[in-house]
Amino acid sequence: MIQALGKKGINFFLFAGAIGMMSIQFCRALFRWPFEGKEFIRQVYAVGVKSLPLSIITGLSTGMVMTLQFAYGLKQYGAIDQVPKLVAYAMVRELGPVFIALLVGGKIASGFAAELGSMKVTDQIDAIRALGGDPIKKLIVPRVVAVLFALPLLTILADLFSFIGGSLIALIERYDLHKFDRGHNPYWFKEGKQISYRTEENRKDSRKFQIEREIFVASDLHYIIAKPGDSFKAIAKDLGLYPIPLAKYNELDVKTPLTTGAIIYLEPKHSEAVAPYTEHIVEQGESMYSIAQRYGMQVKSLYLLNDKSPDYVPTVGDKLRLR
């Protein structure tokens, strides 16, 4: 047993030494003229172009899965607007390079091993030496340089397709994530001011009136005050939003009639009230929904914070936790 372990240890150090010697020979050959340009181009085609389908599928599927899973978890806390940022950071910083290095690198390495092994068996490498050539210069350098050139490009391509995959899932699942980008609309939510802009419909006809809505901010959330005759569809049309997500932000059905003066949030509410609000004493006519709307928090979170069942009806004087 000791002899077997010693043999394995010796083989390991012999292998590591061979790798080190080949690395030194590679560095020397890399800067020695001439450079094998034709072989480099052939290897870039083999490494890069032939790996495009694998890179595209990897990026597309990873972006779709990550968007679906992140959205499933974060929408319960009203943080679904963080999904694009999380997917982008994860793919660009970590998962994109790792997946491409593992999948494409494994494919490339197996191809190189088969090709060079076949050349070794058929004595082609010995023939290069017999003719005065350097096998490291002619065989190793072009392949390594081609990999160093192609892998970053394949990683960038996979990252781009991961964004496309995430966008497709967002559209299919109707997450409406692009509406959280306040740079998407140059007139987006100017709090405390009357905004006036042309919609897509009346932009072609200057004679039609311009839409006006006053936007406010409370609890770090943008909201409007419902006007007489307002509905989610009308508000969404005025502000360039979608009615179904807008209704979900306010925990109502899209067909629910809106009362004049009601607070309508334009983005997801928080899971708890923001500082300095910590508790609320129930006043006459208030409900759990109206209290939650007042502080920009989700109704179910208000029930959970106070250990109340869904059939609980607040009475005047009750003290409710908000954080």
Q: Quickly state the pLDDT bin for 287 (edges 50, 70, 90).
A: confident
Nearest CA to 225 out of 250, 205, 188 is that of 250
pLDDT of residue 212: 62
Distance CA 141, CA 200 (A): 57
Residue range 117-167, pLDDT digits in tens: 887 788 777 787 777 777 777 777 888 888 888 888 999 999 999 999 888
Residue range 34-73, pLDDT digits in tens: 777 787 888 888 888 888 888 999 999 999 998 888 887 7
Nearest CA to 254 out of 233, 268, 224, 228 is that of 233
Q: What is the CATH code for 269-323?
A: 3.10.350.10
- What are the respective helix, strand and coil percentages of the chain, to the nearest 5? 60, 10, 35
Question: Global pTM?
Answer: 0.52
Which residues, in sequence order, are CB contacts of 17 under 8 Å at separation 6+?
Answer: none
Q: Quickly state the pLDDT bin for 210 (edges 50, 70, 90).
A: very low
Residue range 155-202, pLDDT digits in tens: 999 999 999 988 888 877 766 554 444 433 333 444 343 444 334 444
- Strand (E) or helix (H) holding 40: helix 37-47
Mean pLDDT comparison of 81-95, 120-134, 271-285, highest-scoring range: 81-95
Domain parsing of the chain, residue ranges: 32-180, 182-267, 269-323
Average pLDDT in the 282-310 region?
83
- Three-point CA angle 237, 239, 241, nearest 5°: 70
